[in-house]
Homo-oligomer: A and B are copies of this chain.
C-alpha cells in the first residue's frame, strides 16, 4: 500500500519537475483532479473541483492548463458543445473518445480498422492530396446509464 501511494505521488510530481515547473498547491490539485476523473473536464469543471481542495482562481486554472498543454502534460479535446475539455496526456499516442451523454464518462478508443478505413478514404478525395489529422468522437449511453433511460 505504501509503495502504491508513493508511486502515485511520484506520478503527480514528476511531470512538473521534469519540465522545471514549480510545484504549487494549485498545480498539484489540478493534476490530481484530471488524473482521477473518468470524464473529460472543462476549465470550469476543473476550477470547481480544484477549489474543493485548495483555493484557486480561474485565471490560474486557465494559465496552468495552457502551460500543461503546451508542454504535453495534458491534451485538449473539443467535443460538440464548444467548450475545450482536458485530459491527462496519454503516452499511447493517437486515440479517440466515446462519451456518455448521460454521465460524461469516457472510454478511449484506438481502432486499427477504422484508422485504415480513414486512410483509404483520404486517398479518394478529389480536392485533397494531404491529410494531416482528424478528429473523431463518439457519443452514446454507457451501460450504467442505460437503465435510467429505460425508466
Contacts and interface: CB of A to CB of B under 8 A. Distances in A.
Given A98-B131, A114-B118, A130-B146, A107 B82 contact: no
24 contacts: A78-B81, A82-B83, A82-B84, A98-B131, A100-B127, A105-B127, A107-B125, A111-B121, A111-B124, A113-B117, A113-B120, A116-B117, A127-B142, A128-B140, A129-B143, A130-B141, A131-B140, A133-B138, A133-B139, A133-B140, A134-B136, A134-B137, A135-B135, A135-B139
Interface of A: 78-84, 98, 100-101, 105, 107, 109, 111, 113-114, 116-118, 120-122, 124-144, 146
**Residue from the set A98, A125, A131, A138 with the largest chain B CB neighbour count within 10 Å:** A138
Nearest to A106: B127
State the oligomeric state as a number of copies: 2
State the 8 A-B residue pairs at the shortest beta-carbon distance, nearest first.
A131-B140, A117-B117, A114-B117, A111-B121, A134-B138, A130-B141, A113-B117, A128-B140
Given A84-B82, A136-B134, A127 B113 contact: no
Given A84-B82, A138-B134, A143 B128 contact: yes
A98 B128 contact: yes
A125 B124 CA distance: 29
B107 A128 contact: yes
Contacts of A107: 125-128
Nearest to A109: B121
